[in-house]
Amino acid sequence: MKKYCEKCGKEVNTKIITQKEIYDVCGEPIEVEAKILVCEKCGEEFFCEELDNATLVEAYNEYRRRHKLLFPEEIKEIREKYGLSQRSFAKLLNWGDKTIFRYENGSIQDKAHNSLLLFLRDPENMKTYLTLNEISIEDKRKKRLLSYVEKLEENFEVSAEKRLLNKLLFKEPCEENGFRSFDYDKACAMVLFFANKNPELLKTKLMKLLNYSDMIFYKENGKSISGLQYSHLPYGPVPVKFDILLGTMEADKVAHIEVIYDNEFEKHQIVPDKDIPKDILSKEELKVLNRINKKFKNFGSVEISNYSHKEKGYIETKKGEIISYAYAKDITLD
Ligand SMILES: [Zn+2]
């Protein structure tokens, strides 16, 4: 991008540098790596709204992680799970009309509000809230919401496989899972997305596609999509306990593996047993998956494996080690 530099007195080439900066978020100093547009010649800083906003979002996200606050995306997910508009959700919670709108658009929520949202994430708690609380929505609406919640609860019953999987993969949000606890439904939706879009998808390629999707989404939103952890194996980053995850998906009739033979080689192909589910992945998440899919469309398993070997997160970890999402910031797609 060219800009007019006042110091140099002419149109100049620009570049982006990173520099540690302290932001004040809710009265707390938060250090972030700010991206700044500067003159390539003299280093004069230019104002760039896009970069500025990105840094601010990064500072807010760091504050959220520090204080275990829900992310805007997660608040939206809770609301949408109950099929509520922003306004009616706010009303249900006895909050101001615009409160949910503001939180979903990036304002930091009040701590008490955060606790209530966390509590209501579980349908069972929502039922208690609706039954035992004085709430200011019409009876008809309340009844409808209650029957909705009961349906959600039925879907909540989990298979033995899923319980085992959660036990193995569940972890408090941290750098290893991209600050999201493992989410089986999202992981299934991601697998179905790629398996449905790529008729001959091999397991080795799928693992890389999942890794790039989670890392890039984390880089841009401060959270992973699936909460999967990835470890460093000889063929690139691999989701932890991936075979157990695939086994569970097979038992749940989500997707299964077919072994095919190509000359002497045994290949593991992922075959979807369902369409891509609606309502599990957010619009933003789908956007990232589409980008990843497009980028690696014509990459074979070997090519994508070689490509992933060049990532800093892979180079700086040893065999068997978890690749932290902190490395996501070094990944660029083009
Ligand atoms: Zn200059």
Identify the DSSP state of 273. S
pLDDT score at 263: 81
Surface-to-core class of residue 182, CB atoms within 10 Å of its CB (0-12 exposed, 13-18 middle, 19+ buried): buried
Cα 15 to averaged position of ligand 1 atoms, centre (Å): 11
3-state secondary structure of 128: helix
Taking 3-state DSSP, the helix, strand and coil percentages for the chain, each rounded to the nearest 5, stand at 50, 20, 35
pLDDT score at 165: 83
pLDDT score at 159: 67
User: What residues in the chain have per-residue pLDDT under 50?
Assistant: none
pLDDT score at 157: 62
Residue 181's φ and ψ, nearest 5 degrees, are: -70, 150
Instruction: Assign domain 2-66 to its CATH architecture.
Output: Roll (3.10)
CA angle in degrees (0–180, nearest 5) for 230-334-71: 50
Cα 5 to averaged position of ligand 1 atoms, centre (Å): 5
- In this structure, the number of other CB atoms found within 10 A of the CB of residue 113 comes to 17
Cα 3 to averaged position of ligand 1 atoms, centre (Å): 9
Residue with tokens 């570049």: 15
Joined tokens for residue 319:
């065999």
| Of the candidates 150, 292, 110, 286, the residue with the CA atom closest to the CA atom of residue 207 | 292
pLDDT score at 136: 76
Cα 36 to averaged position of ligand 1 atoms, centre (Å): 14
Cα 41 to averaged position of ligand 1 atoms, centre (Å): 5
Domain extents for the chain? 2-66, 72-156, 160-330
0.75 exceeded by pTM: no
SS (H, E, C) 60-94: HHHHHHHCCCCCHHHHHHHHHHCCCCHHHHHHHCC
